[in-house]
Structure 1
Amino acid sequence: MELKQYNDEWPSLFESERAFLLNLIGSCLAGSVEHVGSTAVQGMVAKPVIDIMFGVKDLESSRGAITILQQNGYCYYPYKADVMHWFCKPTPEFRTHHLHLIPFQSPLWRERIKFRDALRESPAIAEAYADLKLSLAADVGSDREAYTQQKWPFIQKVLSSAKKR
């Protein structure tokens, strides 16, 4: 797993892609377009992949965006297809962007915003998460799925404590 130190260009890369997506599939937007994941947290070590969450009304009405996105550089993969339409760019082997079309204000939407905001607001939580990510990257090598699954208990703990506030 390749983790990089925070890159000051990540927010502008998000904004550029956000503008591209609004031009391309803006008619599907129901809510907002959010920069999520570790590249959205200033100072956070991260895989150098910009995670974008694009709010849609529902999965069925946004299905037409799949073809449009595939024709414009995104690769579609039915990952967690019951809660989102998931894409990567430019290829599955080399990714610079992940795009998640998620129903706006769905449980998954709120969860991702809540976790991102917890990392942004608490240096202690962000530092603990960075330490975990570095440890996991050393342990699991290039196994993305294991890396993601092993982060989940930490994420659940942060989300659980955020609900109590």
Structure 2
Amino acid sequence: MRKNREPRRPDVTTVELVGGVEALAVELHSYDDRWADIYLDHQRRIRDALAASDVEMEHIGSTSVPGLAAKPIIDIVVTVDDITAEEDYLDALLAAGYELRVREPRHRLVRTPARDVHVHLFERDDPAVDEYLLLRDRLRSDARDRALYEDTKRALLSKRWDDMNDYADAKTDVILAIKARARAARGL
């Protein structure tokens, strides 16, 4: 791990959406125990691809929450030393069969060609990672918030979305409320 936390070079300043906007055409599935196994398979695949790098990984998103209905897309967060040093991780992930989907400030997203696994890359200690884990852990531990989140997703998926990002943005208020309760429960 690098001791100097300054990036090696400036990060990107815009959002690059490789392939452009994609319509959202998914539905919620009941929780599937196989999702944890799929995560573990990709965890090994990513660790093998990035064996030369010190990375940390977590299963995030709805498929990481037992009992929660979800779009059958496994979300994984991976932390790297320097997000701007794509040569340290991106080529290896592309060689392992992932495709670049998003390049934006502080974040890269690669995914499988089948679009069923999304790998979110952040720099180590990026606050966004803690936010993902805060939500995941709250949904794992609180049945009422888990039900609220599932009901919200079901209501939103009853509408037509031209872009998955718009669907994600529509959940923001509920996610913020759930995270606020998680912080309060932790005394933060």
Q: 1:38-76 CA distances to partner (integer Å, 9 max, x unpaired)? A: 000001111101101112122023443112212221110
The answer as to 2:123 corresponding to 1:100 is no
If the length of structure 1 is used for normalisation, what is the TM-score? 0.89
In 2, the alpha carbon distance for the partners of 1:29 and 1:38 equals 26
Structure 2 partner of 1:83: 106
In 2, the alpha carbon distance for the partners of 1:119 and 1:19 equals 25
Is the 1:55–1:104 Cα contact (8 Å) retained in structure 2? yes
The answer as to 2:90 corresponding to 1:66 is yes
Query: Residues 124 and 111 of structure 1: is their aligned pair in 2 closer, same or farther, counting only changes over 3 Å?
Result: same
The alignment partner of 1:42 has SS state of: coil
Find 1:16's aligned residue among 41, 44, 55.
Answer: 41
In 1, the alpha carbon distance for the partners of 2:70 and 2:120 equals 18
The answer as to 2:80 corresponding to 1:56 is yes
Structure 2 partner of 1:36: 60
In 2, the alpha carbon distance for the partners of 1:138 and 1:119 equals 22
In 1, the alpha carbon distance for the partners of 2:161 and 2:101 equals 23
In the TM superposition, residue 142 of structure 1 has moved relative to its aligned partner by 5.9
Superposed structure 1 runs of 4+ greater than 4 Å apart: none
* Counterpart residue identity of residue 70, structure 2: A
Query: Residues 150 and 105 of structure 1: is their aligned pair in 2 closer, same or farther, counting only changes over 3 Å?
Result: same
* Counterpart residue identity of residue 110, structure 1: D
1:118-157 maps to which residues of 2 (within 5 A)? 118-141=138-161, 143-157=163-177
In 2, the alpha carbon distance for the partners of 1:97 and 1:115 equals 19
* Cα root mean square deviation, aligned: 1.6
In 2, the alpha carbon distance for the partners of 1:9 and 1:130 equals 19
More helix by share: 1
The alignment partner of 2:120 has SS state of: strand
Is the 1:37–1:51 Cα contact (8 Å) retained in structure 2? yes
